[in-house]
Amino acid sequence: MKFSANQLELQKSLNYCQGVIEKRSTLPILSNILLDVSNSSLTITATDLDLIFIHKIENVQIEEEGKTTTTSSIMYDIIRKLSSGKKINFSMNNSKLQLECEKSKFNLNVIDPSEFPIAEADFNENKFTIKSKTLLKLLNKCKFSVSNDETRHYLSGIFIHQTQVDNKFYLTAAATDSHRMSISKVQLENQINFDPIILPKKTIFQLCSLLEDYDSDVIVSNLKSKIKFELDDSILISKLIDGKFPNYIQVVPKNNQKKLEIDLKLFLNSVDRVASVSLDKKDGVKFSLLKDKLNLSVINANSGDGTETLNVSFDHELDISFNSRYLIDVASQIDGEKIEIFLNDMGSPALIKDPGDFDSIYVVMPMKG
C-alpha cells in the first residue's frame, strides 16, 4: 500500500472518526480506523460496533492499493499538527504504516485489516431523501431533551416517525427526559415508507456534526434494527434503540390559558444572569407574575440570591418555578424575537412556543417550591 493524500481532507475525516470511536475500548481493533486505498480513493472507516462511519476521499494519488488499520487517535493527533493543506505520503514499511510530510516521518503500529469488524447491511428498502439543513433543524430542536438515564433506555434517543395532518405528511421528532419534552416536525413532499425509530443519542450528535458541514440531500434508509444516512462522501450507519417510546401527545398540556409573552433575548439573558447565583444551574428560577410584570429570583443557601424584574405581556397572577437550564435550552432553539409560555397553575407543566414556528413545541415541568 502506497498513496498520498491532502492534510486538510484527512484531518476533517479523522475528526469525525474521533466522535465514533470509544475512548476506552476493550478490543484494540475498535481503537483503530480501517484505511482502504483503491480506485483512486481512500475510504476511512470507524466503528464502535453500534455506529459505523465511512468517509471517502476522492482523487488520492495511489501507487499501490491496499488495506490496513491503525490507531485513530494517534493518527489524528499527528495529522492535525502537520502543516495545513500539505501532501502526506503513506506507505507500509516493515509491517508499520509510515507517514511522511515535509521533514516529519512517523511509523505507526497496525493491526491486520481482516480483524476489523465491518459488515454493511442491505438497505434496499424504505428509502427517502431529505435536505440536510431540514434534518439538522429537526434534530437540534429535540436533542437537548434526550434523557441521560440509562435505566430507561427508550428515552435515550429521539423518537422519529411519520405523521399526517389532513392531506399533509410530516417527519415528526420527539424527545423527553420526563422533566421536559421537545416536539418538532418538518413537512415531507410525499408519504414515505418509514417505520418509527428511536435514534440513539450518540448517533444524533455525530449526525448533527456531519450535517453542519454539509448542504445537500441526505438519503435515509432503515431496517428494523438499523438506519443509514448517506451524504455525498460519507455514510453513517447506526443501530436503533429497541424499545417503545411513550405516548408523548398525551403529555402536552391542553388547558394552559395563561399566556406569557416576552422578548426572547431579554428573557434568555435575564434567566441566565439570575441563575448565575446557582453554581450548578439546578436551583429553581422562581417566576412571580403580576399583570405585565415578571420578577425572576434565585435563592441558593451556599452562594446567595439574585432577582430581576421584566416588563412582559401577562394578564394574571401566578408563582411558579423552573429549572433554569431547561428554560435556557428551550429559549436557545427559538428563532423569532418573542417567546410564548402558556401556564395553568404552579403545579402544572408549561407549554412553550415560538410564535414564528408552528411546527415546534416544548413542555417543561415546574419545580417544587
What string of DSSP letters covers 305-337? EEEEEEE-B--S-EEEEEEHHHHHHHHTT--SS
Q: Is the pLDDT of residue 171 over 70?
A: yes
- The angle formed by the CA atoms of residues 94, 96 and 98, to the nearest 5 degrees, is 105
- Binned at pLDDT 50, 70 and 90, residue 138 comes out as very high
Q: Is the pLDDT of residue 219 over 90?
A: yes
DSSP structure class, residue 367: B
Is the CATH code 3.30.465.10 the one for domain 253-364?
no
The CATH H-level (homologous superfamily) assignment of domain 2-115 is: DNA Polymerase III, subunit A, domain 2 (3.10.150.10)
Q: Is the pLDDT of residue 25 over 90?
A: no
Q: In the sheet that 234-239 helps form, which strands lie side by side, from edge to edge?
A: 110-111, 66-71, 32-38, 41-47, 51-58, 234-239, 226-230, 217-222, 127-131
Residues 6+ apart with CB under 8 A from 140: 208, 333
Neighbour-count burial for 164-173, b at 16+ CB within 10 Å, e otherwise: eeeeebbbbb
59 versus 133: the higher-pLDDT residue is: 133
368 versus 281: the higher-pLDDT residue is: 368
How many Å apart are CA 305 and CA 283, to the nearest integer? 11
- Binned at pLDDT 50, 70 and 90, residue 92 comes out as very high
**Cβ(176)–Cβ(248) below 8 Å:** yes
SS3 for 4-57, per residue? EEEHHHHHHHHHHHHHHCCCCCCCHHHHEEEEEEECCEEEEEEECCCEEEEEEE
What is this structure's pTM?
0.93
How many Å apart are CA 239 and CA 369, to the nearest integer? 41
CB atoms within 10 A of CB 40: 12
User: Residue 340, exposed/middle/buried by CB under 10 A (0-12, 13-18, 19+)?
Assistant: middle
Q: pLDDT value at position 20?
A: 95
CA 232 remoteness from chain centre: 20
**Cβ(251)–Cβ(181) below 8 Å:** yes
> What's the grid cell of residue 254?
391542553
Q: pLDDT value at position 369?
A: 60
How many Å apart are CA 104 and CA 230, to the nearest integer? 35
Q: pLDDT value at position 150?
A: 84
Sign of CA dihedral 263, 268, 271, 273: negative
- What are the contacts of 295-298 at 24+ separation with CB within 8 A? 296/270, 296/271, 298/274, 298/324
CATH of domain 127-250: 3.10.150.10
How many Å apart are CA 160 and CA 192, to the nearest integer? 13
- Binned at pLDDT 50, 70 and 90, residue 59 comes out as confident
Residues 6+ apart with CB under 8 A from 166: none
Q: H helices within the chain, ranges in order? A: 7-20, 72-81, 132-142, 201-212, 264-274, 324-331
- The angle formed by the CA atoms of residues 75, 46 and 52, to the nearest 5 degrees, is 165
Q: pLDDT value at position 181?
A: 98
* Sequence ranges of the chain with CATH classification 3.10.150.10: 2-115, 127-250, 253-364
